[in-house]
Every structure is written in C-alpha cells, then in structure tokens.
Structure 1
C-alpha cells in the first residue's frame, strides 16, 4: 500500500454499502484511494427479495452479486469478515476471525486502518425477547435463512402430498404462522400461495393452495401501517381472498414447538413459524468505542449522516438512527432511504476530502409499495408531480415495484450491465422453472 492513499472503509455490503462502494470505486479507483468493503457474506442480494427466495419463487444464485468479481470491476477491495469492534483513536476496525462450518479458521482476526469509516452493516429481526422465538421461528434476514425456510417448506409440502396420495380423504395441511403485518410478512403470505399453485407442475399434482393454512399475526390495529388505510384494507381483503387468516390487535406471548401462544389465550398451531415483526441494528460484540447508540442499537447520526460522536465515521441504512430537524420520527429502515443515504455519504466524503463542509441529508419519501405476488400490488407514491400522494394498485403498481429493483441493479452495475441484467431477467422468467426446488 503506497503512503498517502486515502483509505475509506465501508462495513456492510447491503443496498447502501454496495452502492456506495461502487460509486467511490467509479469516481476514484485505486491510484490515490483505497476503497474497502467488508461484509460477513460472500454475495449480495437485495433484501426486499428474500421472501421470494424463501418460497422458491426466486433463484438467488441467479440474482445475487459476488463481491469479489464486483470489486474487481468497480475499483474497490473486498474483505470477507464481520466487524468485531472499532478503535477510534487509532482509526482502525477490528474484524473477527472467520471459521468454516467445522469450526476451522479460514481467515484470522485482522485490523484495517481507515481515514473515513462508513457503517452500513444493516439490521436483523427484533424478537423483543419473546420466549421461544429464537428457537422455533425462522427469520428472513439473509440468503441462508431464506434457503433454510424454503427447504423446510418443501419438506412439509411433500409430507402433505404423500399423505394425500396414500389417503385421498386425508385432511393434512401445511400450517404456517407469520408474525408481523409489515411488508415482509404480507408479501411472504401471498407468495406462499403462488408457490403452492406452482408445485403442481413439479411432481406434487395433488397439492395446491387449498392445502395451505397461513395465519398472519399483527400486534397493531391493521396490517401495513406505512400505507394509507384504504390500501391496507385492500391488501387485507386480498389476503383473505387467497385464504390467509389475518389477525390484528393480536400479540404473540410465546413460541413453542407446536406454534404460537397469543395474549388472547389462543394457540395457533403451526408446522412453520416466521418472525417478521420489527428490526434492530446488528449487534457488534466488541462495541463501537463510545459511539452514541439509540435504544435500538443504531448509531445516532447528525443530519450529515456523520456520527454525532466522531465526524470521521458515517452511518447509513438500517444501522443509522437519523432524526432530521423538525421530524418526530427517525428516517425509516427502507431500501429507498438506504439508496438516498448512499448518495449523500458519497457527496459528503467528496466534500470532506476537498476541505468543504458536508451537506445535510434530505429524505424524500417516494411512498410505499407492497407486492402480493402475481395476485396484486398496492401502494402509495409521493411527489410534486402528483400533488403529494397518489394511490396505485394493480398493473401500474406492479410495474413501479419491479422498477425499484431495476434502479438498484443500475446503481451497482452501471447502465450498460444493469440494462443487460434486466433483459436477462425478463428472459429467465420465461425459460427458468417457476420454482427453485433444490
């Protein structure tokens, strides 16, 4: 490493981290700067797609991005590892050792210096300490967890299919309980029925959506609180039409091997349990050397997205607690917020390296969209062109929903490769199997 290089370390290769690494790499390259991306996995997949991976509707191996090939293309370096702690005085990040599935060390613990540090390590599902959840429920925070759920789902579907074949009068069901009526829980509930219908094409001729028993449990008064009430009600009606039992104002008090216990005294029997209620920042074992944290574990940042404790450290995406002036709530943990934050951190790093003052982040809420698989899409869009808020449903909403992922592809791959991948995606929808079954 040549002396004098400015070293920028980004911890976390999610939507915000990977977009920032690509932007910095394109802008500066390796001559005078050393851009380093650290992530605890080897590949990136857009987190809003994990519910499709979990049902087999999406083959993540076709849509994920390998960090090593991506960094070679865009002029940054990639380190495989997870953040253990930081040393703000020495300006160093300490990475934990990486072990294989047998416990053998693959990468030793090591230290990376930084001139500027960007924390973008994301969030994990928050079980709020509910008894039994960690042992009995599946979370959908990673590709690995989504794959594990898909395997268990297919096993349960096969079990029911065999029981029906042996005895046509058998009333066997695949019972699934999903806690959390936000976008993840709602989208997963709908996608399960899409997958169930598709299984008939792949050897489970006697299995269909009628054999699914899906319960969606929400502690609040309605599902999809981020959407206008009319659209949330439309989604509620669509789910019930599919066969989902939707429970609102229902708090889960415990998870057992048999299912969910509710405060109302009901036991919701389930073969598979998914917890998708709330998020918290990924916990860092060794701490963050005195950086101020919110109760959720997020790094508290200034409007410029710099830590209020250390101006050389930025935080963005789900691990950042950003309460902008005049707002009552912090910027929500959404993909659109992560994308916008990556743009501002990129600009502010450029400004700091040229002795200019950083600019504040302005969050532009473009609305929310929720896909009910191929059955429907609902959402609200915000912007000056529509005078504030526009409700969208059906084909238009589905087109806009898919466009969000296309924008992400272009942000991390550039226009040429991004457009090529979008085209390939359209072709794959025709030639690839409807479900990933292995």
Structure 2
C-alpha cells in the first residue's frame, strides 16, 4: 500500500485515551496512517490539573510535547482546534493557530480522514447559572488551570497586604462541586497556600486567614462513590479546616460572592466551578445522535451511526452492562477504550474484515487524592468481587501510581522510570509551589 493509498486514522483529542491510542498505533503503522489532532501543544494528565491550578505541578516541566512524542512514537501531530466535520467528504476543518502575540503560526486547514476517532474530552457544565461563565474559573484545560494559579498568586499577595492593614481580613476561596476534582483541589489548595505563605507572605496565617469552602448540591461529597469513601474524604477535609457545605445548589455567581437557591450569600474572592461536565458543542453539528450534554451516542463497539466515526472517553455516551446506565467519565474508562480500539483500528488500516466485539468496562475502583500525604479509595476485589476500602498514605501512593501507569503506556518503562527519578531529584532544587 503506497502512502497516497494509506488508510488514515485521525484521532481528535490528545487526552488519556486519545494519546495512548495514537502512540500505540503509530509504533505499529507509522505517521502516514496515524494522525493526532489537538489544540494544545503539550499533554498533561487531566486528573492532575488541580495540582497545576494550585501551583504544585509545573506544566512547563511536566508537560509532554505532542510534537516530541509524534517523532518518537511514529504518528503525525496536527496542531489546531476542530471547528467542523464534513462527514460526506470525510474532512475535518481546523482553526488557524496564533501565537501569544497574535501572529499566525498555522493557517486554517482541512484534514482528510478514512476513520475518525473523537476523543475530545469534556468541559465544565455551568447549567445556565447566571454569572458562572463570567466570574468562575473552570479547570477544563492547562490554560484555565494556569489562569487560576496566576489569580491565586495575585489574591495571596493582595491578601497579605490587606491583612497587614486590616486585622480581621480573610481570603475566601469557593469551590462549586464536591466531586473528585473539587475535593482534590480543596485539599491541594490548603497545602499549596501554606507553602506559598512560607515563601514570604508573612502577614497571613494560612489556616485562619485563607478560608476554603466546598459547595455540593448532593447530600454528600463524592456522591457517585461509596458512602464510606465519601465520609472519609469529608473528614479529611474538615481536619484541614475546609468548610464542606452539602445540599447547596448555587443559583448565582457574582464577582465577590456565590448565592444558593435559598438566597444565602457565600463571600468569595476566587471561585472555581467543578460541578458537572458536558462535551464540546461542535459534536452536535455532526448530524449524529447526541445526548443532552453533547456526548456522541455510540454502540458497544464505540462506533456512531456513521461507520467511519468512533468516539471514546468523556465525549462519548457508551452503554454499560447495567440496564439503562452509561459509563462514567473516568480516566480508567478512556484507558481501557484505547486498548479496545487498538485492534479495531489496526484491522481498518490493514483493510481486513472488522471482527465483531463489544467493549466491556472492568471497574477497578476509584482513588481520590486529599493532599500530598493522604487519600481515599475503593478498590474492586478481582477475585472476590468485593470493594476494598483504603485510605491514608497507601491510598495516596496508589493514586500517584496511576499517573506513572499512564506515562508507562505512552513512554515505556525506561523513559517513565527516568522521568520519575528526575522529578524526585528536581524537587530538591525548586520551591514547593510555582511562584512565577
């Protein structure tokens, strides 16, 4: 098969699943067959965005370059954001790419595909809440996480100055949403703020003068996870001086306050929105079935009504084994879907008859980080079928291992081990939080 005849698999979205699929396909078939499209130049494991926001993870040190990986793993990387998909012509349209100085780096382009895999992830769902999009920051991307980090540094410096003038002043941080992102961010912020104060903000007492409030609409945080895990996480947050408010539905967001449905006012200097997700709106333009949060409806083969279009990860509504239920938006789902799609894409590239198979998700449980030294988790017993509850340092170490396993799937053992050792050594020569 010549290059002009090569079957093109175009993967849109370089998240956990999309990048793993591109890397594994690229190693096997090469850049003439495998294309990865993403609007960012670097990959960050999305579950670690709360660390980027708190300043405890530096994207300029930790990010993996898609261009570098393309050369190493044998796929073609296309830098750009998809604006339209022409299914009849099998073309995707890309926006032009501009530098920070608004100089055009790449023009608007089109890219042909034979098979399209949509792995575009999700973004925060504001549910039409007035003021949320204007005044709250959603941790949807590294850019948004960096924007929050810079705002946090500004607010800390401002609070330090005001505290010297006003004894009873306090910095208020509000987090809307008590899922994994909200819980992890709350704990990370408590530790990061204490570290930032250590580096010269001497007027602030990080425990008393920085007040963090977590607001959740359900009757408990981590409502999708077992109650024992939820109760343990709540206690760990309370132990850190974080206020946890449940059964609170935010009805309005303003520049300096949140208001719930009963009109209660919660003062905030900085607000993060981590309540619910939705897929990118352009998926509706495909003229394929989408649900109310824009997720593309696919079958158990991860294929849409168009046999050339597949979807995976957060942007796909995939049936679960349980009647009427759909797979959750979790990194382990995307990881397993990448492994499932690998032989299917290989068969399409090779022009073979597609073997019939159905995706079956194996739930290995959930782990939630609650600071650098604590965590909670519920693990599925492979042999017994029971849930095993873990917490404390063991849960935190297991959580950290998930990030390494993701790198392992992309980089291989030698480079992942080198990266882990390098990070450990680099910690000795840099501040605990990013201060620039």
1:344 equivalent in alignment to 2:340:
yes
* CA displacement at 1:286 relative to structure 2: 8.1
Summarize the alignment of residues 205-354 of structure 1 with structure 2, pairs less than 5 Å apart: 205-207=202-204, 208-284=206-282, 287-288=285-286, 290-307=287-304, 309-352=305-348, 353=350, 354=352
SS at structure 2 position matched to 1:209: coil
1:179 equivalent in alignment to 2:180:
no
Instruction: State the partner residue of 2:192.
Output: 195
Following TM superposition, the consecutive aligned residue runs of length 4 or more in structure 1 with deviations greater than 4 angstroms are 101-104
TM-score of the superposed pair, with normalisation by structure 2: 0.95
Contact 2:283-2:296 within 8 A present in 1 as well: no
Summarize the alignment of residues 8-407 of structure 1 with structure 2, pairs less than 5 Å apart: 8-30=9-31, 33-101=32-100, 103-164=102-163, 166-167=164-165, 170-207=167-204, 208-284=206-282, 287-288=285-286, 290-307=287-304, 309-352=305-348, 353=350, 354-407=352-405
CA distance in 2, matches of 1:209, 1:348: 53
Instruction: State the partner residue of 1:420.
Output: 418
Unmatched runs of 5 consecutive residues or more in structure 1:
none
Deviations 1:267-326 (A, max 9, x none): 1010001100000001218822x221111101111101111x112211001111101354
* CA displacement at 1:265 relative to structure 2: 1.6
TM-score of the superposed pair, with normalisation by structure 1: 0.95
Deviations 1:339-360 (A, max 9, x none): 0111111121123442131421
CA distance in 1, matches of 2:402, 2:177: 23
Unmatched runs of 5 consecutive residues or more in structure 2:
none
Structural RMSD (CA): 1.7
Instruction: State the partner residue of 2:407.
Output: 409
CA distance in 2, matches of 1:246, 1:378: 17
SS at structure 1 position matched to 2:418: helix
Deviations 1:19-47 (A, max 9, x none): 111010111124xx421111011111011
Q: Which moved more, 1:123-132 or 1:343-352?
A: 343-352
Q: Structure 1's 103 and 427: CA in aligned 2 closer, same or farther, altered over 3 A?
A: closer
Q: Structure 1's 258 and 436: CA in aligned 2 closer, same or farther, altered over 3 A?
A: same
Q: Structure 1's 358 and 416: CA in aligned 2 closer, same or farther, altered over 3 A?
A: farther
* CA displacement at 1:386 relative to structure 2: 4.9
Q: Structure 1's 286 and 392: CA in aligned 2 closer, same or farther, altered over 3 A?
A: closer
* CA displacement at 1:427 relative to structure 2: 2.0
Question: Paired residues, what number?
Answer: 432
